[in-house]
């Protein structure tokens, strides 16, 4: 993918894995100050991108921290066993970043607009996450050993509430004083294959709306005063990225077909982005694309993420108890 495309169309890259791919595509070498580890599971491939230095932060456009990307195409299918195992991977990876004592207070925040399906991941995850803070306060006899105090909030978006999401969360944080905030948000990808099949977990917080060019106040340690872990799933791709992919594949066909190579040599490679700009002009250069089956994809991803969060926060609770506490 052409680095200039993302620059010219002001496309933000939410996945650290993809940001690294773009930079490597431009430079042809690894980014100094960035460490990468990979792990393989039955239904998932995990890539851990660790940005260790400020110089790498500037290059990547991402804060120093750990970004865990779980690529699991099986999320898009209907195999419950695969979904269960992917949820265990999510719990495992989230557990590595939590690093909290057993008696901790955690706030789970579902970012996004519940009225717009591609942006509804956060609220859907909140609706399926096991919350327990009320039990600690009002029904301690219902608690099992090893359970943590967990509360959840879906604050909506600025256009619905008239209040910056970060301000709502900050008010709740100041009131209930959690030891950790876990924020779930929909992301934008550069690869259509990663829509609703990839989960990113990062210990750097989140910038709501950045992937669709609608930047809001950051939700992180600096703004809230407590550590923030961000969990995101790509649900949209910028239209310019899809158009450029199409042009690139078309050009590759011309290049490798002996009968069309002469035509390939006559084409100006810079024309492609000019054409894309013209097509997207009615949308201000910004057009986000999502699959028609996004409802099902969001539901599956939300169940997996919520299950992973619940298992990570209550690791000693038997799985057959989850449904009881959810209801």
CA dist 218 and 69 (Å) reads 21
Q: Is residue 267 part of a domain?
A: no
Q: Is residue 205 part of a domain?
A: yes
> What pLDDT, on a 0 to 100 scale, did the predictor assign at position 214?
56
> What pLDDT, on a 0 to 100 scale, did the predictor assign at position 211?
46
Per-10-residue mean pLDDT for the chain, 327 residues long? 67 87 78 94 96 91 95 94 96 93 93 93 96 91 89 92 93 97 95 94 82 68 95 92 82 78 69 78 80 94 96 85 67
* Domain boundaries, position 9: 3-242+283-326
Contact present, 125 and 152 (Cβ < 8 Å): no
Q: Is residue 258 part of a domain?
A: no
Contacts for 308 with CB less than 8 Å, ≥ 6 apart: 87, 88, 89, 90, 91, 94
Q: Is 256 helix (H, G, I), strand (E, B) or coil?
A: helix
Q: Is residue 316 part of a domain?
A: yes
Cα 83 → chain centroid: 17
Count of domains forming the chain: 1
Q: What is the pTM of this model?
A: 0.89
> What pLDDT, on a 0 to 100 scale, did the predictor assign at position 168?
95
Q: Is residue 262 part of a domain?
A: no
Going from the C-alpha of 139 to that of each of 144, 150, 318, the distances in angstroms are 11, 14, 19
Structure tokens at 283: 């949308």
Q: HSE (CB half, 13 Å, CA atoms) of 55?
A: 4
Label residues 181-215 b or e (16+ Cβ within 10 Å = b): bbbbbbbbbbbbebbbbbbbbbbbbbbbbbbbbee
How do residues 234-272 score in pLDDT, each as one tens digit? 999 988 888 888 877 877 887 788 777 777 666 766 677
Q: Is residue 233 part of a domain?
A: yes
Contact present, 224 and 169 (Cβ < 8 Å): yes
Q: Is residue 207 part of a domain?
A: yes
Q: Is residue 30 part of a domain?
A: yes
CATH of residue 73's domain is 3.40.50.1450
């Amino acid at each position: 993918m052409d680095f200039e495309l993302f620059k010219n169309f002001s496309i933000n890259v939410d996945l650290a894995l993809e940001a690294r791919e773009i930079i490597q595509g431009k430079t042809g070498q690894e980014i100094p100050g960035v460490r990468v580890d990979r792990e393989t599971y039955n239904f998932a491939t995990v890539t851990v991108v660790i940005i260790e230095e400020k110089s790498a932060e500037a290059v990547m456009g991402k804060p120093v921290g750990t970004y865990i990307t779980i690529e699991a195409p099986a999320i898009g299918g209907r195999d419950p066993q695969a979904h269960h195992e992917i949820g265990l991977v999510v719990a495992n990876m989230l557990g590595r970043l939590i690093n909290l004592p057993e008696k901790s207070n955690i706030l789970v925040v579902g970012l996004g607009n519940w009225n717009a399906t591609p942006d509804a991941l956060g609220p859907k995850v909140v609706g399926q996450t096991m919350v327990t803070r009320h039990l600690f306060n009002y029904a301690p006899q219902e608690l099992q050993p090893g359970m943590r105090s967990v509360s959840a909030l879906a604050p909506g978006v600025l256009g619905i509430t008239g209040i910056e999401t970060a301000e709502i969360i900050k008010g709740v944080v100041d009131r209930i004083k959690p030891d950790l905030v876990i924020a779930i948000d929909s992301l934008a990808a550069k690869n259509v294959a990663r829509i609703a099949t990839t989960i990113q977990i990062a210990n750097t917080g989140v910038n709501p709306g950045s992937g669709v060019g609608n930047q809001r106040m950051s939700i992180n340690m600096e703004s809230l005063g407590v550590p923030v872990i961000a969990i995101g799933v790509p649900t949209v791709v910028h239209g310019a990225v899809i158009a450029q992919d199409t042009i690139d594949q078309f050009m590759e066909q011309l290049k490798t077909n002996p009968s069309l190579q002469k035509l390939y040599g006559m084409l100006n490679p810079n024309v492609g982005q000019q054409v894309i700009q013209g097509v997207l002009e009615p949308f201000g250069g910004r057009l986000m694309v999502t699959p028609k089956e996004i409802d099902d994809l969001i539901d599956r991803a939300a169940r997996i993420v919520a299950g992973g969060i619940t298992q990570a926060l209550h690791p000693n609770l038997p799985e057959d108890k989850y449904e009881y506490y959810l209801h």
